[in-house]
A = this chain, B = another copy of it.
Amino acid sequence: MCQLLGMNCNVPTDICFSFEGFATRGGKTDDHKDGWGIAFFEGKGCRIFLDAKPSIASPIADLVRGYPIHSTHVIAHIRKATQGEIALLNCHPFQRELWGRYWVFAHNGDLRDFSPQSQKFYQAVGNTDSENAFCFILERLRQYFPDRKPPLKELYSVIKDTTKTLADKGIFNYLLSDGEHFFAHCSTKLCYIVRQAPFAAAHLIDQDMTVDFRELTTKSDRVAVIATTPLTDNEVWTQISPGELLVFQDGVPLNL
């Protein structure tokens, strides 16, 4: 199994504080040490840092910790391998292009009963259930909407149906984004928090570190952080219900 971390905001924000706690779980406070990765959208552009080393021992994770990259859509993952060997090609998040946009995906779980068929458009490069599931979702979207991204309600409906098909095969918590919309699916374990004015201080669970968001924010800022388990011990995190697929935009889950 693995752990997920996501962030969606209304203004580009750095994820250094959350990543600090999260990365600690990659071999120090927890045993998700079979690689890690993080994707940052900047508009339609996207950059992904990947490493097959544990996040606590990775020079690239040190860079991400120390270099504040501002983004509105971030997806991070620390891996504890269930399917697929420990190697760069099996590190999440995975990326593909659809409708002239990059799509990025990371998964926590295990789809034991999923036997991926050969797809027409998208093939997995590695050998994880996760990358195959991602390809399966994008394939479906292309079949339904060959030419362009549909309105959100139609998009949501197909992703929801496809997710249900896959979630029936095992455990399927995931984060998915194209830099415009941010999907978060809970199969067994996923929670979130929305930080907005009035801001307060937050304290990490995984190490003794506090940030006072009052000093770093403006009144109109809004940031949603989504994670497998809460990252802070003095804030109230909302558990997403099993089977629920949320869509975040501008730092808040939409009512669909």
Interface residues, chain A, with chain B CB atoms under 8 Å away: 42-52, 59-60, 63, 66-67, 87-91, 95-97, 99-102, 121-126
Contacts and interface: CB of A to CB of B under 8 A. Distances in A.
Contacts of A48: 47-48
* Majority secondary structure, A binding face: mixed
A158 to B, nearest CB: 19
A52 B122 CA distance: 28
A125 B63 contact: no
**Stoichiometry (number of copies):** 2
Contact of A67 (B60, B102, B125): B60
B42 A87 contact: yes
A50 B47 contact: yes
A117 to B, nearest CB: 13
- Chain B CB count within 10 A is highest, among A48, A87, A122, A125, for A125
A138 to B, nearest CB: 10
B124 A100 contact: yes
Given A60-B63, A100-B125, A87 B43 contact: yes
A122 B87 CA distance: 27
Contact of A59 (B67, B87, B90): B67
